[in-house]
A and B are shown apart, each in its own frame.
Chain A
């Protein structure tokens, strides 16, 4: 479980995050949603430790991040997997090389065991016969899968995903969402997904934190998101034509 308590962050005197508190539960897909520029990426970067909030604390299963020593932070990082928006695969390494990278750096396993684990992860994300391909030789969807395989290689306790569906077609997006959800439940990982894709929200949103202009405006799940009274959340949710139709349907249904 990851807890964020009263997180505030400033850039050049401008407050970007305002006193955000949220709990991200273990074994669930936790979503941070919000419009572009709402501060959700900054919030996620604060959670991972790529940015340091001026105020507030972040607890990884009760361990406070800011009070950890460099060695403790290093140990914690080996428990974190991260899926970047652009996949962030290493261009000079093959698919297998990318998945092997964290294992080579941190795993005490023998080379044969590392290979076995890497192959297991590659197969787990549904990739076959791609071991020797370079990132530039595979599609965007496949790159995301490789990035997921790399992120889970070390059996992480925490998985962060920054807009995993960006640049993907709807069908591939759903496959990636399902894969993330399956992995989360299978391994009991605390998964935090940063997204503004409503399909993801409805598909895998077991715990949703809505951020608007740096404020945490709403916390809930995919079951009660349509029943929210938050105006900013409703503006966000029903922004697209499709969801406007849904809104009309819901209004008619309630009458």
Chain B
């Protein structure tokens, strides 16, 4: 188990060095990055927005339920909602959700290319297939994920405001005051910095599992599942390290 993990990690490192070689054609790389931003990033906006609104609303309700004390000011609901969204949800939890969507998409796409010999066709032509297929995905998603993170922060806060406005569980003015008070700008940057690392993990791990698929459709499905599981664990592990480094 340990030896196999070390071997896999070594293979992953070799794969990454192959991915980050000089592209065969820079113009093709640029075109492909734009395509990937659209496919992996822009197409994730609806999911990001809807999940963030609901989670923002749920956090707001739960904070209100748990902070029902005359000693705690009512603006604490907004403050706590903001802190949870900025510090953890809009970076780590969102990345875990995107690992499911984007990661499985990448692993199955590349895995299918492998089993249908499309990758072999590129290799025979002399194209660095890992570089051609994977590099645009990594660059595209790493570039776009801060947009998703900031959008998630905004939509989460909007979800909290919505629940306060429509149900009256907490005064809207207090909620708005809460999300503005004791604001630490660094927390936004902290969330964004984390997403760069998570985006790299999601794309590279999923691509690695897809690229080395052997067999048929069943193996592509397995690779897709493994990609999501491994990248999720890696995200949580990296979250601990980055939190320690950036917040303490």
Contact = CB atoms under 8 A, between A and B. Distances in A.
Given A104-B28, A105-B25, A84 B126 contact: no
A80 to B, nearest CB: 6
Contact of A91 (B24, B25, B28, B118): B118
A105 B127 contact: yes
B120 A84 contact: yes
B169 interface: no
Contacts of A90: 118, 121
A88 B115 CA distance: 9
A101 B32 CA distance: 13
Contact of B117 (A74, A88, A102): A88
A80 B124 contact: yes
B125 A77 contact: yes
B24 A105 contact: yes
A50 interface: yes
A11 interface: no
Interface in B106-129: 112-113, 116-118, 120-121, 123-127
Interface residues of A, number: 23
A48 to B, nearest CB: 6
Contacts of A38: none
Q: Tell me which of A75, A80, A88, A91 has the highest count of chain B C-beta atoms within 10 A of its own C-beta.
A: A88
Q: Give chain B's interface secondary structure class.
A: helix
A89 interface: yes
Contacts of B116: 86, 88, 91
A249 interface: no
B196 to A, nearest CB: 27
B126 A89 contact: no
A221 to B, nearest CB: 27
B123 to A, nearest CB: 7
Contacts of A88: 116-118, 120-121
A232 interface: no
Interface of A: 48, 50, 73-78, 80, 82, 84-86, 88-91, 101-102, 104-106, 160
Closest 8 CB pairs of A and B: A77-B126, A88-B117, A88-B121, A82-B124, A84-B117, A74-B126, A88-B118, A78-B126
11 contacts: A77-B125, A80-B124, A84-B120, A85-B117, A88-B116, A90-B118, A91-B112, A91-B118, A101-B125, A102-B125, A105-B126
